[in-house]
A and B are shown apart, each in its own frame.
Chain A
Amino acid sequence: MSDDHASSLISAEVRHVEALLESRGLLGAGEIDTRIDEFLAGGTPANGARIVAHAWTDPGFAARLLADANEAIREVGLSMAGGLQEQRLKVVANTAEEHNVVVCTLCSCYPIALLGPSPSWYKSEAYRSRVVRDPRGVLAEFGLELPAATRISVWDASAESRYMVVPRRPAGTDGLTEPELAGLVTRKGLIGTAAV
């Protein structure tokens, strides 16, 4: 069976269930499309990059961010209230001594309302099974070779909080504006599988 054929079979099954739910009043006409559009127009890694760039340039904000991220991100016009309910955000910052990396070993918890959809590798058993046990090896596979002296702290999103990493500010970026700094930050940096 080709992938296309399998995909068209499951497409038909999904449409069938949607039609059934519409007929029973459990789904509004157009509700699915609206939800998809809202989701795709929602969170984005650019939100996280903005937060990080602001934390790099404003130590007071950085301190507030680590102490109470939900309150602090309101200062830059963002919130964790975009999903089904406001979720607690826990922000952790990398230092010269310690590198943080985030995983959800039990499912795929991720700050979607803030950062948008997670990458497929984040949801894979390959990542989830190994990063808690051998983070140094997993990070090396991502091309991130940490000095042996750097402590690694893995965070398992096993309950209700969602997590974001503040990477270290790269050297030689003193002259950059906040938007330019934000442009350096990647989604992997916000998860902890890249340096920035």
Chain B
Amino acid sequence: MSRINDVGGMSGFPAIIEEPDEPPFHADWEAHVFALNGALIKRGVYNLDEFRDAQERLPVQEYLAASYYERWFAAIRTLLAEKGVATPDELHVPHD
């Protein structure tokens, strides 16, 4: 089915913003998410297409509200749960 990642030709997105310094990551956690994904793919926990698929399956409103690496992290947690590595509860910081 048509998915929210498939935006070629769509109207309604905001103007293109160029950052002056264009850092590769905007926070340490983003670099960690990037490296975590590479490590899990290299280990064969999932493959790159499964990773893209997991991002595309995020609820549309959540997808659009999320930043680039927030989408990555959501997809990683989705796949770790689906692959049986951990339960969804285990993948979240416990709340008291």
Which residues of chain A are within 8 angstroms of B43 by Cβ–Cβ distance? 26
Interface residues of A, dominant DSSP: helix
Task: Give CA–CA (A123, B16) in the complex, Å.
Answer: 10
Which of A58-66, A124-132, A162-170, A177-185 lies at the interface? A124-132
Instruction: Please determine whether B86 and A24 come into contact, CB atoms closer than 8 angstroms.
Output: yes
Q: How large is the interface on A (under 10, 10 to 19, 20 to 34, 35 or more residues)?
A: 35 or more
Q: How far is the CB of B51 from chain A (nearest CB, A)?
A: 10
Instruction: Please determine whether B39 and A27 come into contact, CB atoms closer than 8 angstroms.
Output: yes
Interface string of A6-20 (1 = CB under 8 A from B): 010011111111101
Interface string of B9-38 (1 = CB under 8 A from A): 111011111110010100111011111101
Which residues of chain A are within 8 angstroms of B5 by Cβ–Cβ distance? 106-107
Q: A7-B29, A20-B91, A119-B19 are in contact. Are A156 and B39 (CB under 8 A)?
A: no
Partner of A36, one of B16, B32, B77, B80: B32
A97 within 8 A of B: no
Task: Give CA–CA (A117, B19) in the complex, Å.
Answer: 14
A84 within 8 A of B: yes
A32 within 8 A of B: yes
Binding site for B on A (CB under 8 A): 7, 10-18, 20-21, 24, 26-27, 31-33, 35-36, 39-40, 84, 103, 105-108, 116-117, 119-121, 123-130, 132-133, 138, 141-142, 156
